[in-house]
Structure 1
Amino acid sequence: MPYNDLRDFINNLEKKGELVRIKTEVSPYLEITEILERLLLMKGPAVLFENVKGFSVPVVANLYGTIERVALGLESDEEGLEEIGTFLAYLQHPEPPKGLIEAIKKLPFFAKIMSLTPKSVNRAPCQEVIIQGDDVDLSRFPIMTCWP
């Protein structure tokens, strides 16, 4: 079953023991990036920092820090990732079919491409809070600093 949104994916990671929640206050200045670097090197879990110093917005990171989580995010298995990679590589440099028979052979491939069209919706959770004009302030969001 496809993920409805990022929250859905995060919940699935948590159910599978692939995400930890950190409730302790952490700083976006050097501290979070240091934690994440260590976790990435250890192939550690995804992390949801719930209490970022100076911000009301949580930070989620390392969602795709392992091959297993990449596969989980793409609803595939590790072997299927190679097929996805081949598919994406072809899309970078597609070659038109050289004749009718080759075009017919590629129909399933073209059908797969057509199934990738985005789904349009009238309302989405990301549209629940709308900030416009002078109220727009990107400093409300924690920006990680990884180097002083």
Structure 2
Amino acid sequence: MKKIVVPLSVLGFVMVVAIGSFLFSAGSDNGSANASDLVGSWSGSQGAELTLHKDGSLTAVKVPTTFSAEDDTPIKPFTGKGSWKLMEKPRYDDQEIEVSLGDVFGSKIGTQLKVNGKGARDGIYIPISEDSGAKFLFKRPRQ
């Protein structure tokens, strides 16, 4: 009987710790920001630049709107003006930034960015693939 009790108590302890850490991380404010945290310039790879203005407008240079299905390479970059809006943070995901990049042939081009880290300290990103978790990351330019 003693041989069974010890492994079961260890297993129970491990389960409690695992569940507790999940609940703690799920309720955290990681991946969240205030609009004021996002205002300013952001740089990505391949010359991509995004400037978010306080009034909700934005300026984009070479911001990818689509990615290659083969290797996640950015394609169809957008350069121009648009608008942005910070959405309410969902409980279990990073906070979203809704982005409208203007009109092309009468259709609005939009993309979704997400906040990376508390207060966007780790940048903002365009999710490339939900399956792989691949991201196109924008960071603050180094001063």
TM category, shorter: under 0.3
> 1 or 2 for the larger relative contact order (CA 8 Å, sep ≥6)?
1
> Comparing both structures, which one devotes a greater share of its residues to helix?
1
The normalised TM-score by structure 1 is: 0.20
> Comparing both structures, which one devotes a greater share of its residues to strand?
2
The normalised TM-score by structure 2 is: 0.20
